[in-house]
Amino acid sequence: MEMRRITTPLSDDVVGELKAGDKILLSGTIYTARDTAHKRFIDTLRAGGSLPFEIKGQVIYYCGPSPVLPGRAIGAAGPTTSGRMDVYTPTLLSLGLKGMIGKGKRSQAVKDAIVKHKAIYFGATGGAGALLSKAVLSYEVVAYEELGPEAVARLVVKDLPLFVINDIAGNDLYEMGMSGYRR
């Protein structure tokens, strides 16, 4: 399959060209955040505070890596199930979040927000944490260190292999893929 290389931060033009089913290789800076970090983001915003990093144009990776291995940038680093973040996601998209990396289905509210705010949702191969870790060049905790594996970290990645799941036209790779093989 043909692969396209893209780099963060993501522009509207690049996001607009991506279609559900495209295989891409992502490079640049991304941020890890999962369940508890998302809850804190929203609690912070509600209390009038600001997020621990500038979210505009950025990509969040739903990932809680295993501990950094000796001589490596990170431990295993695959995606967690994105759906648990759905209740928090539309708010982050309205603040300029451009991309999300995870695995699994999103709610209709998230898919609608992806279309509205011109964002993109990528799938990384769940359960391929060893393979995906090799695309990570650096790992640096930037917030909520006390959360351990759930801390927010800045990752620099090179050619992280991803599929486009939900695009700005409202397409969904899971629905497209399943309908072709349902008997």
Partner 1 sequence: MREVQADTVRDTVERLFIEANYDLPEDVIGRFKDALGEEESSVGREIIEELLLNARIARDERIPICQDTGLAILFMEIGQGVHITGGDLEEAVAEGVRRAYKKGYLRKSACDPFTRTNTGDNTPPILHVRIVPGERIRLIAMPKGGGSENYSEVRMLTPSDGAEGVKRFVLEMVQKAGPNPCPPITVGIGIGGNFETSALLSKEALMLPFGKRNDDPYLRDLELSILGEVNKLGIGPEGYGGSVTALDLHIKSRPCHIASLPVAVNIQCHAHRIKEASI
- Chain residues in the site for partner 1 (CB under 8 A): 1, 35-36, 39, 63-70, 72, 75-78, 80-81, 83, 103-105, 123, 125-131, 133-134, 147-150, 161, 163, 173-174, 176-183
Between CA 111 and CA 86 the distance in angstroms is 10
Q: Are 31 and 53 in contact (CB under 8 A)?
A: yes
Q: Cβ of residue 47: shortest distance to partner 1, in angstroms?
A: 18
Between CA 159 and CA 168 the distance in angstroms is 22
Nearer to partner 1, 49 or 67 (CB): 67
Strands 152-166 and 3-7: unpaired
* Opening angle at CA 58, ends 46 and 80, nearest 5: 80
Nearer to partner 1, 78 or 90 (CB): 78
Nearer to partner 1, 102 or 117 (CB): 102
Nearer to partner 1, 21 or 57 (CB): 21
Q: Cβ of residue 56: shortest distance to partner 1, in angstroms?
A: 28
Q: Cβ of residue 17: shortest distance to partner 1, in angstroms?
A: 20
Between CA 153 and CA 31 the distance in angstroms is 6
Nearer to partner 1, 116 or 137 (CB): 137
Q: Cβ of residue 102: shortest distance to partner 1, in angstroms?
A: 10
Q: Is 35 exposed, middle or buried (0-12, 13-18, 19+ CB in 10 A)?
A: middle
Alpha carbon distances (Å) from 182 to 20, 21, 176, 179:
19, 18, 11, 5
The amino acid that residue 165 corresponds to is I
Q: Cβ of residue 128: shortest distance to partner 1, in angstroms?
A: 4
Q: Are 121 and 165 in contact (CB under 8 A)?
A: yes
